[in-house]
Amino acid sequence: MPRPLVDCLQLRLGDVRGERQVLSVVLHLRLPFLADYMEGLEAGGTAPANAYNANEILPAQASTQKEVGIRTSYFRGVHASVSLFEIDKANAVTDPNPNPYCGGNPMCYVNSGQINYRGLEATMNAELTRLFTLDIAWQWLRAIQNSPDPKFNGLAPENTPRSIGNVRLGFRVPWVSGLTLNGGASGVTSRYVNFQQQGSIPGYVLYSAGASWVVSNHALNLRRLTFLLSVDNLTNLRYWNSVQTGTYGIGMDRTIKATVKMDY
């Protein structure tokens, strides 16, 4: 008897943590195919310190999300997924011109239409051999402001990269039981510094490396002892990691972290 095409269909309707979730549909097929639609309320943004209405919390706004994708583990040792998504959410901006929301004063933080996000996501986790593993993730994003104000309409929002991605390679050291080494890279493309595209911060690529060692000692009733060591931003790159409402975020310097976990 052939297996059914539809493995699972979920319909959810109601309130979630005080937010209106009008409809959420999740459909799993044997491919397996995933389709998701959600609509709800998002908390309003908080006006930055340099705005006329500093610290004001804007009213909650409706947002929608649609996604379709495929997840597969058809090939042995490989798990992959690809999805297309579209999100519409409120567009909160700091208007440099006089704005009626703030009584005709400039630098008013106000909702101005919506931002439309359309993107593609792809991930892959692969066990290449008994010793090597590979993890890859990538996202492409198109973000456009749909605003009644011509200063913003049709432009990309601030702090929104066109593409991000990361890759990591793991190596199980065969001559040391429980020891795994890894190295990777993550990258972000350039982003605009405000909602009028009047400047941008450059993209960057960060490199990282790490090791984990798992040991056990039944004589000490120690089921699992894990040593973790990681180094982020190996090259000690100087970079801007974000920009929002006129505030620039400085990226972390080279960071070394070591932890020990014990399971009894």
C-alpha 84/C-alpha 82 separation (Å) is 7
- What superfamily would CATH give domain 30-36+64-90+113-263? TonB-dependent receptor, beta-barrel domain (2.40.170.20)
Tokens read off for 68: 């379709």
CB atoms within 10 A of CB 92: 19
- List average pLDDT for each run of 10 residues in the chain, which is 264 residues long: 44 44 49 84 89 92 93 89 96 92 93 96 95 97 95 94 97 94 97 92 97 79 85 96 85 95 78
Q: What is the pLDDT of residue 31?
A: 57
Q: What is the pLDDT of residue 68?
A: 94
Convert 133-145 to b/e letters by CB count within 10 Å (16 or more is b): bebbbbbebebbb
Whether the Cβ atoms of residue 24 and residue 38 lie closer than 8 Å to each other: yes
The structure's pTM equals: 0.80
Q: What is the pLDDT of residue 262?
A: 80
Chain segment 209-223, per-residue pLDDT in tens: 999 999 876 656 667
Q: What is the pLDDT of residue 222?
A: 67
Tokens read off for 186: 């993550």
Chain segment 190-205, per-residue pLDDT in tens: 999 999 999 999 999 9
Q: Where are the domains of the chain?
A: 30-36+64-90+113-263
Q: What is the pLDDT of residue 75?
A: 84
Q: What is the pLDDT of residue 73?
A: 86
C-alpha 129/C-alpha 127 separation (Å) is 6
Tokens read off for 59: 């009213």
